[in-house]
């Protein structure tokens, strides 16, 4: 099949999930074309490591602002609809596969005109995400209003041929919207066992030699629970004098400043290092340097129905993992035996789990081993992408 993927984003930087899906489908014998946004000066047509990319929409700053407000009230964008239709016709696709909720309606409109099936690939609970990604109350009452986005999601998902969810908890939420269970496929954000061989940066690992490193890798935002981690530090510093909390990421300057002030107020600033956003190839070196890796998300309707890529990256490298009790995180880490869970927003409970892994080396070795084995057995992309391949096999059979 000729698959036309629609992504309201730019590449680079890499979109790991989109690129993994595209390569898996190509390995299964399909041809993948990808519609993207375009930066000034970028070529319209490009080849992204075998993926046929077409940068068909150039937003620009003013156009992006206009789109954000008009689209969030109408859920329509004529420029994107024209781009999707041109892309589908010019690439002669057999199916449209749209990533994330916003452009599902425009993709459906084009697909119905051209008599094509539509796959809605929901990377997360988007209506709930809007409530935690943004802090401006006026915006959350208007353009990012939860009720309006929820109604749009419920309505438009009835018009697609299949939905892809990232985790079982997300599937149950989607089924709860009235979508038939047989239309929802689960394709988790796992890591590939065949990842490219990226050498470890010895400058990074040498920097943390002799330290008990607790690391977090990802975006900074209140729902990530990083404030809980910093509030746990006073409860462990006397027991782990060589402790270093390494936070690799950024994207929210205000929250970063809040975390820096929190650490200073708790007299823990010397224990905390914020590296800023790092190139993807450096991430493995920070994980390799870690004694414990964290996914400390606060609980809310968004984090209760999604799963981050990093938990599987941690397990792949055989690192003990501590997660909060968001249902997907706790279920996976307990099933894998790859670490411990704590009550979200409870720094004392988190501190206890850190001390447990620090003080019990046998426990630490066991969860490292078990997490790595569970990753190789069932929590890797080769295993979890099976439903993606199955979905397209069914679509191909219908076309015969």
Q: Are 177 and 206 in the same domain?
A: no
Residues 215, 248: one domain?
Answer: yes
pLDDT tens digits for 294-311?
Answer: 999 999 999 999 999 999
Q: What is this structure's pTM?
A: 0.94
Q: Is 192 among the domain residues? A: no
Q: What is the CATH number of the domain that holds 80?
A: 3.40.50.2000
Question: Do residue 87 and residue 176 come from a single domain?
Answer: yes
Residues 182 and 282 in one domain: no
The answer to the question of residue 251 being in a domain is yes
Strand, coil or helix: 360: coil
266 & 174 share domain: no
Q: For residue 228, which of 175, 146, 295 has the smallest C-alpha distance? A: 295
Within-domain flag for 90 = yes
Answer whether residue 221 is part of any domain. Answer: yes
The 10 Å Cβ neighbour count of residue 335 is: 11
154 falls within a domain: yes
Q: Is residue 323 located within the same domain as residue 265? A: yes
- Do 8 and 37 meet the contact criterion of CB atoms below 8 Å apart? yes
Q: Do 179 and 243 share a domain, yes or no? A: no
Residues of the domain holding 248: 202-379
Same domain, 17 and 162: yes
Same domain, residue pair 152 and 23: yes
Q: Is residue 194 part of a domain?
A: no
Classify strands 212-217 and 184-186 as parallel, antiparallel or unpaired. unpaired
Are 221 and 315 contained in the same domain?
Answer: yes
- The C-alpha atoms of residue 129 and residue 132 are separated, in whole angstroms, by 5
Q: How many domains does the chain have?
A: 2
Q: Which of 65-74, 283-292, 370-379 has the lowest mean pLDDT?
A: 65-74
State how beta strands 51-57 and 45-48 pair. Answer: antiparallel
Express each pLDDT in 56-94 by its tens digit.
999 888 888 898 889 999 999 999 999 999 999 999 999
Q: Assign 2 to helix, strand or coil.
A: strand
Q: Are residues 48 and 171 in the same domain?
A: yes
| d(C-alpha 81, C-alpha 308), whole Å | 30
List of long-range contacts for 130-133, beta carbons under 8 Å, 24+ apart: 131/300, 131/301, 131/302, 132/221, 132/222, 132/223, 132/300, 132/302, 132/303, 133/221, 133/223
Rounded-to-integer distance, Cα 177 and Cα 171, Å = 10
Summary mean pLDDT of the chain: 95
pLDDT, tens digit, 9 for 90 and up, residues 126-149: 999 999 998 888 999 999 999 999
175, 236: one domain: no
Whole-angstrom distance, CA of residue 298 vs CA of residue 343:
9
Closest CA to 96 of 125, 117, 75, 124: 117
């Amino acid at each position: 099949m000729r698959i036309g993927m629609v992504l309201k984003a730019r590449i680079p930087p890499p979109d790991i999930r989109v690129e993994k899906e595209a390569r898996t489908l190509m390995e299964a014998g399909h041809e993948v074309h990808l519609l993207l946004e375009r930066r000034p000066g970028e070529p319209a047509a490009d080849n992204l490591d075998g993926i046929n990319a077409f940068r068909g929409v150039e937003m620009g700053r003013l156009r992006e602002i206009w789109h954000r407000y008009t689209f969030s009230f109408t859920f329509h964008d004529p420029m994107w609809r024209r781009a999707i239709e041109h892309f589908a016709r010019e690439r002669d696709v057999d199916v449209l596969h749209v990533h994330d909720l916003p452009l599902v309606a425009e993709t459906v409109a084009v697909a119905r005109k051209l008599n094509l099936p539509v796959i809605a690939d929901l990377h997360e609970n988007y209506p709930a995400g809007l409530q935690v990604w943004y802090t401006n109350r006026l915006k959350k009452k208007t353009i990012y209003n939860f009720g309006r986005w929820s109604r749009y999601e419920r309505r438009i998902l009835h018009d697609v041929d299949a939905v892809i969810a990232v985790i079982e908890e997300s599937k149950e939420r989607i089924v709860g919207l009235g979508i038939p269970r047989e239309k929802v496929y689960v394709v988790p954000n796992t890591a590939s066992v065949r990842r490219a061989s990226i050498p470890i940066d010895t400058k990074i690992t040498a920097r943390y030699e002799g330290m008990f490193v607790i690391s977090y890798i990802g975006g900074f935002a209140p729902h990530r629970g990083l404030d809980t981690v910093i509030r746990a530090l006073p409860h462990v510093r006397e027991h782990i004098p060589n402790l270093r909390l390494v936070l690799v990421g950024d994207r929210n300057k205000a929250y970063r400043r809040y975390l820096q002030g929190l650490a200073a107020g708790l007299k823990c600033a010397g224990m905390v290092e914020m590296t800023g956003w790092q190139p993807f190839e450096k991430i493995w070196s920070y994980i390799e340097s870690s004694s414990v890796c964290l996914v400390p998300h606060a609980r809310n309707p968004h984090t209760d129905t999604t799963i981050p890529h990093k938990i599987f990256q941690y397990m792949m490298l055989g690192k003990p993992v501590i997660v909060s009790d968001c249902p997907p995180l706790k279920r996976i880490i307990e099933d894998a035996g790859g670490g411990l869970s704590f009550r979200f927003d409870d720094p004392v409970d988190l501190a206890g789990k850190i001390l447990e892994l620090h003080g019990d080396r046998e426990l630490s070795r066991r969860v490292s081993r078990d997490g790595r084995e569970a990753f190789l057995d069932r929590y890797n992309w080769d295993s979890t992408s099976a439903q993606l391949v199955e979905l397209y096999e069914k679509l191909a059979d219908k076309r015969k």
